[in-house]
């Protein structure tokens, strides 16, 4: 089968590999019907994910059809249409039991697919702990509607959940890339008083204006002033940083009101500095880290009810054979791309 592979730093290539087999009794083999490219794939390509293993098939956003299951798999069976979770988790350890599945203590726990074990920019993928990592796609929900459930939509859902948003809040979201937009969709479900999206790319600002006219938009250079004018409490009650740049990290705490919550979802390519003396007395709460993708069933139900729709994010469609071209468009932000759907 064809598998897009992390050959070495700065180099991915399409390779012919053998079809994956069951390794453990909790595994499932899934025939990929649609996958996507994520910014994290680019982080691997540029060598900023040290745990990524050269030779690995990349890709961790995918949906498919279960082809084969191990003896211990109970939740899904061959023929089921499923979303695949970016996180691999056992469901039994201390962290899994608490819902902190990103910190699962299993050897393959956390983000392993397409990083430490073969991922889904391929025709087939082996999913360990299939009872945890797979969710059945409800009837009436298409592959394109379900495509982002296991990764960027799970991230947005988790970010909105841990930010403790109430109806009185003004929420500032930094970044309107794919994960930023997913975060926005999930924040909207919380019905806060006001939502402001900060983004520097005019095309992405236009996307927000076109699709979500009730949301306010601002560019980073004007953000701090704008937020303080819009928010009577000297800043945003909740700030969700999804952009991942030095400037946006700084904006996140600058734009937050005293005693606000700053949720940092972004994956930075470099360390960031938290200048504590400058924010002394602001008494901020920071929440940071990688997604705990354990709400996929709930997300799929919200999609079924048409309360979340991420299909406008799919701006391009490619076949796996042409994935090189898809990466070029995605990485270099050509043709107003937001997300690309890849068909094996």
The nearest distance, CB 201 to Zn ion, in angstroms, is 19
Residues that bind Zn ion (CB under 5 A): 38, 40, 89-90, 93, 96, 104, 151
The nearest distance, CB 137 to Zn ion, in angstroms, is 19
The nearest distance, CB 155 to Zn ion, in angstroms, is 8
Q: Encoding tokens for residue 45? A: 């390509």
The nearest distance, CB 72 to Zn ion, in angstroms, is 15
Strand pairing partners for 172?
196, 239
| Closer to Zn ion by Cβ: residue 89 or 226 | 89
| Closer to Zn ion by Cβ: residue 151 or 169 | 151
Residues with Cβ within 8 Å of 138's Cβ and at least 6 positions away in sequence, in order, are 300, 301, 303, 304
Q: What gap in Å lies between CA 275 and CA 291, rounded to an integer?
A: 25
Q: Angle 126-132-134 (CA atoms, 0-180°, nearest 5)?
A: 55
Number of Cα atoms under 13 Å in the Cβ half of residue 172: 36
Q: What gap in Å lies between CA 111 and CA 85, rounded to an integer?
A: 9
| Closer to Zn ion by Cβ: residue 90 or 172 | 90
Q: What gap in Å lies between CA 325 and CA 311, rounded to an integer?
A: 21
What is residue 177's DSSP assignment? Answer: S
What Cα–Cα distance (Å) separates residue 148 from each residue in 61, 69, 267?
Answer: 6, 23, 18
| Closer to Zn ion by Cβ: residue 37 or 187 | 37
The nearest distance, CB 4 to Zn ion, in angstroms, is 14
Q: What gap in Å lies between CA 184 and CA 153, rounded to an integer?
A: 10
On the 0-12 / 13-18 / 19+ scale of CB atoms within 10 A, 224 is middle
| Closer to Zn ion by Cβ: residue 109 or 235 | 109
| Closer to Zn ion by Cβ: residue 93 or 188 | 93
The nearest distance, CB 114 to Zn ion, in angstroms, is 8
| Closer to Zn ion by Cβ: residue 41 or 199 | 41
The nearest distance, CB 105 to Zn ion, in angstroms, is 6
């Amino acid at each position: 089968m064809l598998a897009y592979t992390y050959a070495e730093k700065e180099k991915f290539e399409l390779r012919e590999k053998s079809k994956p087999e069951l390794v453990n009794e909790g595994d499932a083999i899934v025939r990929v019907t649609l996958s996507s490219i994520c910014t994290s794939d680019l982080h691997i390509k540029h060598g900023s994910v040290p745990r990524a293993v050269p030779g690995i098939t990349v890709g961790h956003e995918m949906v498919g059809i279960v082809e084969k299951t191990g003896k211990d798999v109970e939740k899904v069976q061959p023929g089921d249409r499923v979303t695949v979770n970016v996180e691999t988790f056992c469901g039994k350890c201390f962290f899994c039991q608490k819902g902190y599945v990103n910190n699962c203590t299993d050897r393959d726990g956390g983000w392993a697919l397409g990083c430490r074990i073969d991922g889904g920019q391929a025709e087939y993928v082996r999913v360990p702990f299939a009872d945890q990592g797979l969710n059945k796609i409800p009837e009436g929900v298409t592959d394109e509607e379900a495509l982002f459930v296991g990764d960027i939509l799970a991230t947005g859902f988790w970010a909105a959940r841990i930010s403790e948003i109430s109806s009185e809040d003004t929420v500032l979201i930094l970044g309107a890339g794919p994960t930023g937009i997913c975060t926005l969709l999930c924040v909207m479900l919380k019905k806060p008083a006001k939502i402001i999206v900060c983004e520097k790319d005019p095309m992405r600002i236009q996307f927000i204006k076109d699709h979500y006219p009730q949301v306010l938009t601002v560019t980073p250079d004007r953000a701090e002033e704008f937020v303080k004018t819009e928010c009577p409490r000297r800043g945003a009650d909740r700030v969700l940083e999804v952009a991942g740049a030095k400037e946006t990290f700084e904006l996140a705490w600058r734009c937050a009101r005293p005693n606000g919550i700053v949720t940092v979802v972004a994956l930075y390519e470099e360390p960031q500095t938290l200048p504590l003396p400058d924010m002394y007395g602001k008494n901020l709460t920071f929440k940071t880290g990688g997604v705990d993708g354990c709400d996929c069933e709930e997300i799929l139900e919200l999609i079924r009810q048409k309360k979340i729709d991420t299909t406008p994010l799919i701006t391009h469609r490619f076949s796996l054979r042409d994935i090189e071209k898809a990466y070029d468009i995605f990485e270099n932000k050509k043709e107003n791309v937001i997300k690309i759907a890849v068909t094996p």
